[in-house]
Chain A
Amino acid sequence: MNLKKPPARTLDLKRTEVKLTASVNSNDKVKTALFKFTCCAGCQFALLYFFHQLPETLELLDFVYFKMAMRKELEEPYELAFVEGGVSTPEHIEQLKAIRSQAKVLVAFGACAAHGGIPSIKNWQTERAVEENVYPDPLLVSSIKVSPIDEFVKVDYHLRGCPIDEVEFMELIRSVAADKSPYIRGHPVCVECKLRNNICILLMREGVQEGMCLGPVTRAGCRAVCTSNMRACFGCRGPMSNSNIPEMVRTFMGKGFSAKDIEMRFTEYAGLSAEFSEGARAYYGRKTPYYHRKAA
């Protein structure tokens, strides 16, 4: 069967762009600091380079600390703190607490900060096995299990996704600038996917990469970018609220996917979340992550 791709490929960002005519006085801008822990730096790089609305971002935010973009040491005070990446060393915990005590609004910036992300896959093996496979002398490297930042401090908002989505990011910074809560979606990716007139790939396509779609249990906000490109959702935004994981696993089993496939799919990006680790164990039943997160 030939599945045609829907015509609307990317949202026209120009239409959603709000032009600020008068330049905002720098005193009115939100003082912002961006910190990086254990991650690929892709999310801050997206903000710096791939987002179309960089000029508008700079109108709203006054970056006091942003090492990848600026040669400037941290300057307090700041109101908004973005923390990118998961916690993987003891120093991160101390730094995180210091950030929390300073920032009015703390945002988990991307999948690694929100759920541990891809580096957290190592939590499913013993620390020693992982370290010995990489370094000849593991004693020279300091590392602990990867965990999301809300394990240690209160997080005000989560910008999920690998990488974060531009529309959601703009919604967040506009809301913070206007001192209101942003609209962060709780519904599944399926809603956005249907709004884009996509044919359901979970029903129509085969193969792990093309048909094993986690859309029904994954939180929306990505504008269904993967499924619109004929790629099954891999759950990088983590579980939606009230997700029905057992039914998702049954659907996968019905499609003939193996236990290994199901375990892999649930543990790629947000395997530490209570819901997805339940999915990973549901069928396989053997493994639990060595560092297991408290149920939300």
Chain B
Amino acid sequence: MAEKRRITTGKPLEKQVKVDYLARTEGEAGIYALVLDSEVKELKFNIWEPARFFEGFLIGRMYYEVHDLVSRICGICPVSHMTTALRALEKATGVTVSEQTKILRRILARSQIVASHIVHLYMLAAPDYMGYDSIIPVTQEHPKIFKRFLRMKTAVNNLTTVIGGRALHTMTAIFGGFTYIPSRKNLLKAADSLKEIKNDALETVRFISSLPIPEFHSKNVYTSLKGKDIYPVNEGRLCTTSGLDISEDEYRSHFTERQLSYTNSKYSSLDGKGSFMVGALARINQNFDLLSNDAKTISNEVGFKVPNYNPYLNNLAQAIEIVDGIEDCIGLVGGLHPKEEKSVYTIKGGEAGAITEAPRGLLYHYYRVSKNGVIEKADIVTPTAHNAFNIEKDLNLLLPKISHLDNETITMRCEELIRAYDPCFSCSVH
């Protein structure tokens, strides 16, 4: 390649970032970047995890098992895939569910969002800023932090277990309702243990804000659901900071996907124009007013202001969502008087899509179902498939700014940036 060379040195200042297998994220991806004289010559964000073809093999399956199958798209956010698929299928087949089912699904999804944030912050993201390879040295050197992590995960997983049957790949939620309704006593017991970790959640926000997070500003189009009077989880209008405000049925007329040669994940773009960011930061940027008072107070205390344009601060946004999520779950459980329900339904053929907020952001599921209940078409867009284009865009912006640093630090910064997005590559190549 004929590169323009700098006359003074005779050699361009070359920096290379090469990561084959990105650690501490879910799934498999790598980055390759070549920077010459603070100009990005080549950048490939390569999600090389083998494709799993969910949208392909779902065709021909029955409507009642789809939520189980799609929950195996992701090991961290199975509940989000499950509740989204259920809502899309119920909408497509004309089945309405009870108010109690909706509330239980909201608690289930919310508790899993909190759980996912906890694991991301403590196990995947924080070790970078603390100077460790993994959380394993933290167990010895910062037992206080590790114990706080264990307390929080136990309490939150407990709530998911009470409703879902187990914390990972829950099985009680089925088409039309639940196989089993938990007793109020068990729910309140789980809520009590959540109350005990309220303080830990605040400490988490302080802990994350105390980490040396790089200053980097990248003004993105933040895309998330917008709630009317509650923080959006399972439903809401789809809004962006660029002014789009649509219902979930109009999703496909604004969001398109394309395939690239070097990555197995499809890239999503908005109105054919460009990338956008989804996730905790996007949610908080658009729904700050709907956060609980505690969450607002702690945001002020640590100096987090919206709108915030630093993608590294997605971590802090997640910590704030933990505070809000715990409060939300306690409130919902307190107001719930569960009773046994029998769901009776008849299905008709149809098609529909549903959008929810998964831990990592906007999640879209669409199905077309025949009148016998057989799936004819499936379309799933996961949060990381939404974000992949934007991650590449942010790396493009970041690299020239840090190209004066040594190779190792540049690599670290890039990895931290990607991890801040909390990507799930397994989801993105579903």
A34 to chain B, nearest CB (A): 12
Does chain B have a CB within 8 A of A253?
no
The complex places the Cα of A235 from the Cα of B144 at a distance, in Å, of 41
Chain B residues, CB < 8 A from A209: 64-65, 174-175, 179
Is A119 touching B53 in the complex (CB atoms < 8 A)?
A: yes
* A163-B53 contact in complex given A41-B426, A71-B133, A230-B179, C-beta closer than 8 Å: no
Mask of B191-203 contacts with A, CB within 8 angstroms, 1/0: 0000000000000
The complex places the Cα of A228 from the Cα of B172 at a distance, in Å, of 10
Does chain A have a CB within 8 A of B213?
no
Mask of B142-178 contacts with A, CB within 8 angstroms, 1/0: 0000000010011001000100011111011011000
From A71, A143, A230, A268, B23 is in contact (CB under 8 Å) with A71
Is B75 touching A231 in the complex (CB atoms < 8 A)?
A: no
A95 to chain B, nearest CB (A): 12
Of A40, A134, A261, chain B has the most CB atoms within 10 Å of the CB of A40
Is A71 touching B61 in the complex (CB atoms < 8 A)?
A: no
Mask of B51-68 contacts with A, CB within 8 angstroms, 1/0: 111111101111011001
Residue total for B at the interface (Cβ-Cβ under 8 A): 68
Chain A residues, CB < 8 A from B56: 122, 125, 129-134
Is A231 touching B179 in the complex (CB atoms < 8 A)?
A: yes
Chain A residues, CB < 8 A from B171: 225-226, 229, 231
Chain A residues, CB < 8 A from B76: 41-42, 45
Residue total for A at the interface (Cβ-Cβ under 8 A): 69
The complex places the Cα of A142 from the Cα of B48 at a distance, in Å, of 10
From B52, B74, B75, B134, A70 is in contact (CB under 8 Å) with B134
Chain B residues, CB < 8 A from A261: 62
Is A130 touching B53 in the complex (CB atoms < 8 A)?
A: yes
Does chain B have a CB within 8 A of A18?
no
Using a CB–CB cutoff of 8 Å, the interface residues on chain A facing chain B are 2, 5, 9-10, 36-46, 48-50, 52, 54-55, 58, 63, 66-72, 88-89, 92, 117-119, 121-122, 124-125, 129-137, 140-143, 162-163, 208-210, 225-226, 228-231, 234, 260-261, 264, 268
Using a CB–CB cutoff of 8 Å, the interface residues on chain B facing chain A are 21, 23-28, 49-57, 59-62, 64-65, 68-69, 72-76, 78, 115, 119, 123-124, 127-128, 133-136, 139, 150, 153-154, 157, 161, 165-169, 171-172, 174-175, 179-180, 186, 258-261, 264, 266, 340, 374, 415, 426
